[in-house]
Structure 1
Amino acid sequence: MTTTSSATPRRVIGRGSYAIGALGGGIRGYELGVVSGALLFAGPALGLSPGVTGLVVSAALIGSLVGALGVGPLADRFGRRTMLTGGAVLYIVGILAAAFAPTAAVLVIARIVLGLAVGIATAMIPVYLSEIAPAVRRGSASGLFQVMITVGVLVASLISLAFTPTGGWRWMFGLGALPALAMLVGSLRLPESPRWLVRRGRVDEARAILAGTRSPGDVEAEIESIRSVNAEEHSGARRTLLRSRLLLRLLVIGSGLGILQQLIGINAITYYAPTVLTGIGFSDAAAITANVGLSTLGLIFTLVMAYFVVDRLGRKKPLMFGALLMALSMAVLGIVFLGARDGAVTGGAGVLAVAGLAVFQIAFALSWGGIVWIVFGEMFPLAVRGAAVGIATFLTELTSVVISLVFPSLLATGASTVFFGFAVMGVIAFLWALLMVPETRNRSLEQIEADLVTRR
């Protein structure tokens, strides 16, 4: 492998790179949070039937599946930063098309384009952030992705609330172009992943980029470590290994994390918290306001996770204990609804139900909300990192689609059964974290890869 590019690039890694790189989480969160409010008014305005409304919602989820699965090989070939830029452009096109959609068909197409952008961002950002951050700061840097998701959800909730009196669904969609525009402008100034650059033979560029956050000695050590891993990956033994049990095992672990992240109930709560709240006696306005409160809790404790938990306690322990706390809160909700009369929960039981939702939101924010994405970016070998994270993200999004589609029907058959089911999933998530997930705190990506290889 040769070193190329004698010119020192202007782009270097700085703290701002982490925030700009994570902005794609904001567009994911905004898409998640805005659609429920916007469709309340877009439905009557465009004459959407219930079936077409469901198609509008699921169109973005389907687009996200395609984006997540397809972006990995492209990122391994053309670079991480290029994919982030492309995702921002697609999002701007999709969100503006949704805002100006004259018919249901145009709105469905716009939502598919939005989904493609979200899938690209979701698969790429954990990879990018993990590859540019030093080991001691990688957890908090990668955790910014989930921080931005919660910011996006909260902002979408507030904007929906602000435009509800006027029914301004076009504004609800259209304002989502602003974070995507910020992501686009920022991505043009981001440095490329130094690990991808070394793999492409552009070592001088990678060295200059790493110099932004590493000491000179650490830069050279990291460059040599990356080159060593690359050399091994080009050997016949490592290529054979990547095609066999190691990669399969890592895909099972990562995909299991993503699937369980959805099966413990977070998207059901995100999409349908107002429905649950109205079921326990809240008015529509009070339910929407309370949902903003839940989103605020999610943001606060996601910040706690990113800055005070993940780089101090690691990945494994928060995943384990967060799963148990979520299982407990879902069990409490199951018990509350089990004792409901005619589906209504009032008095102290209603307060307990709200507390259960709040505890679930806090526990998710401190653990599975952000740490799953962090682990995605850390645990796969460099040679296939983009593609492998794409596959794991695809399965995560597919599970999200299924949960989002079936949750309303399940809720109608009996809320207590649904919440007890989520509680069981929480226990399974605890066992998965305990038995399957490796601890990756304060270790370079190359050390993680070498350890996983020796433990295969």
Structure 2
Amino acid sequence: MGKNFNKSLIFFLGALGGLLYGYDMGIISGALLFIGKDIHLTSGTEGLVVSSMLIGAIAGSALSGPASDKLGRRRVVFIIAIVYIIGALILAFSPSMPFLVVGRIVIGLAVGGSTAIVPVYLSEMAPTESRGSLSSLNQLMITIGILSSYLINYAFAGIEGWRWMLGLAVVPSLILLIGVAFMPESPRWLLEHRGEKAARKVMELTFPANEIDKEIAEMKEINAISESTWNVLKSPWLRPTLIIGSVFALFQQIIGINAIIYYAPKIFTKAGLGDSASILGTVGIGVVNVLVTIVAIMIIDKIDRKKLLVIGNIGMVASLVIMAILIWSMGVQSSAWVSIICLTIFIIFFGISWGPVLWVMLPELFPMRARGAATGIAALVLSIGSLLVAQFFPMLTAVMPTQGVFLIFAVIGIGALFFVVKYLPETRGRSLEEIEAELRARTSATSANLDRHK
């Protein structure tokens, strides 16, 4: 009982950064309806307020990955929690648009750190047979964060309390700050920096006893290869995988999900709903997002990762195309329920596939010596994709019909489907070290290199 409780607490706290990421993604969608009544925003500055978080996220992703490889995952999470608190306070007391932008940039630094560190930490703490479901906790926390933000938006819509909406991110940030004290360091980082005894002690908390010796032996074998993080990152054998991981992350952001997360209330008001009804519509989408992510956690270790992605792609593209056709035939002002239903279907297929699978696979794809830094690079590209959607979606909807914009996302979804089928490797059911050994062998870092260091 005690070990199971400790294990649950470790993974809950490890994934808590995902909740903050989701909250700060979703909260701006409702706050935007009311910020403009106190602080003048144009369509361009509105996009800047939303996307400035992602400018910070680019820097946070770039810095946190290498920092976690050097300082450890746990210390970087502590820093991230402090940055979240500072950013939330700046936003809550912003007197003007520039302060909003600065606050969103500061929050973005923490968001970028979360996207780079949380998946790595969960993946390295999880045993092989349950790595998919436990790593998916990051996506579950993101969806819970998004849903929480929608509920907060709805609760404060009556008083137009956008400052409360933005400032309440302090609460989960404080929980994370305190929770760091109860989080152990990643065993793979400990093995390299503190030795086998420290790594084994942590693994006893989350790994089956009969797997620990095998995992440590594989970790030692990889550790025996004398390479620095920088040398691994710039090595020709890693480059193809780094490109694949980065393109994978980019597709997840530009496939359409962020247009829904950031601008769903705007989409619904444009379709004829009032402010409160629009926010309530996003709450429904948020609930569905959480529920399907729970389903994904239950099935992700039973179905190949690529198969889930393909199923998700087909469903997302179909929902966007159907929505565009129906809106064109009915007219925008009569399409509120069509938009809600089709976007909910999109969320269902995203939630069982691209949402959780990306966060599971990114750290699986990269070698231990540079896992934090490489995941950070992919997270940086992810933030760039999110930035593009956040900045340009309102501009596109201002010059072309909403249904036309979603058809663009459908075309991107078809491209993502082709990418998954042709380029993405399968990782289910293999240890992180087995994946790395196969990666080295496949990309010309031959198994002879491994044999030399045994």
Pairwise same-fold verdict (TM > 0.5):
yes
Measured in 1, the distance between the counterparts of 2:428 and 2:353 equals 14
- Pick from 272, 288, 292: which aligns with 1:281? 272
Q: CA deviation at 1:74?
A: 0.8
Q: Report the Cα offset of residue 406 of structure 1.
A: 1.2
Measured at CA, do residues 56 and 435 of structure 1 come closer, stay the same or move farther in structure 2, by a change above 3 Å?
same
- Distance change >3 Å, CA 43–CA 173, structure 1 → 2: same
TM-score (norm 2): 0.91
1:95 partnered with 2:88: yes
Which of 317, 337, 344 lines up with 2:333 in the alignment? 344
Which residue is equivalent to 2:418?
Answer: 431
Cα deviation, residue 217, structure 1: 3.7
Task: Give the AA of the match of 1:282.
Answer: L
- Which residue of the other structure, out of 332, 336, 340, is the alignment partner of 2:322? 332
* Contact persistence 1:13–1:210 (CA under 8 A): no
Amino acid at match of 1:38: A
**Counterpart position of 2:446:** none
Which residue does 1:320 correspond to in 2?
A: 310
**Contact in 2 for aligned 1:13/1:132 (Cα 8 Å):** no
Deviation at 1:49, TM superposition (A): 5.5
What percentage of residue pairs aligned between the two structures are identical? 41
Asked if the contact 1:13/1:191 (under 8 Å) is kept, the reply is no
Question: Root-mean-square deviation (CA), in Å?
Answer: 2.2
1:155 counterpart residue number: 148
Which of 220, 238, 243 is the equivalent residue of 1:247? 238
1:80–1:193 Cα contact (<8 Å) kept:
yes
> Given residue 284 of structure 1, which amino acid in structure 2 is its aligned partner?
D
What secondary structure, in the 3-state scheme, does the structure 1 residue paired with 2:237 have?
helix
Report the equivalent of 1:26. Answer: 19
Cα deviations by residue, 1:273-305 (Å, 9 ceiling, x for unpaired): 223223333333322211110111001001111
Matched residue type, 2:390: S
Shift of 1:246: 2.5
Superposition deviation, residue 98 in structure 1: 1.5
In structure 1, the partner of 2:290 is 299
Contact in 2 for aligned 1:321/1:430 (Cα 8 Å)? no
Q: Which residue of 2 aligns with 1:114?
A: 107
CA drift of 1:263 comes to: 1.9
Distance 2:235 2:324 in 1: 42
Among residues 351, 370, 373, which one is paired with 1:387 in the alignment?
373
Q: What amino acid is the match of 2:385?
A: T
Residue segments in structure 2 that go unaligned for 5+ positions in a row: 444-454
Instruction: Specify the alignment match of 1:14 in structure 2.
Output: 7
Q: Which of these residues, 409, 414, 428, is aligned with residue 441 of structure 1?
A: 428
Candidates 432, 441, 451, aligned match of 1:454:
441
- Does the aligned pair in 1 maintain the 2:188–2:199 contact within 8 Å? yes
AA paired with 2:429? N
In the other structure, the counterpart of 1:228 is 221
Matching of residue 58 in structure 1 with residue 44 in structure 2: no
Alignment of 1:372 onto 2:326: no
Between the aligned partners of 1:404 and 1:49, the Cα distance in structure 2 is 14
2:30–2:279 CA contact under 8 A, matched in 1 = no
Deviations 1:189-219 (A, max 9, x none): 1010110111114221111000112344421
Give the counterpart letter for 1:323 in structure 2. Answer: N
Please give the alpha-carbon distance, in whole angstroms, between the structure 2 residues aligned to 1:297 and 1:98: 28
Q: Is this contact kept in 1: 2:22–2:142, CA < 8 A? A: yes
Match of 2:405 in 1: 418
SS for the counterpart of 1:439 is: coil
**Distance verdict in 2 for CA 1:22–1:321, change over 3 Å:** same
SS in 2 for 1:313: coil
Q: Does 1:123 align with 2:116?
A: yes
Q: Deviations over 1:401-456 (max 9, x none)?
A: 11111112222312232222211221221221112222211211001111122222
**1:169 Cα shift?**
2.0
CA distance, structure 1, for counterparts of residue 185 and residue 409 of structure 2: 40
Give the TM-score normalised by the residue count of structure 1: 0.91
Change beyond 3 A, Cα 1:48–1:276? closer
- Count of aligned pairs between the two proteins: 439
Once the two structures are TM-superposed, the CA of residue 384 in structure 1 deviates from its matched residue by: 1.0
In the alignment, structure 1 residue 141 sits paired with structure 2 residue 134? yes
Q: Report the CA distance between 1:239 and its aligned residue.
A: 8.9
Partner Cα distance (1:390, 1:241) in 2:
14
| Correspondence 1:270 to 2:261 | yes
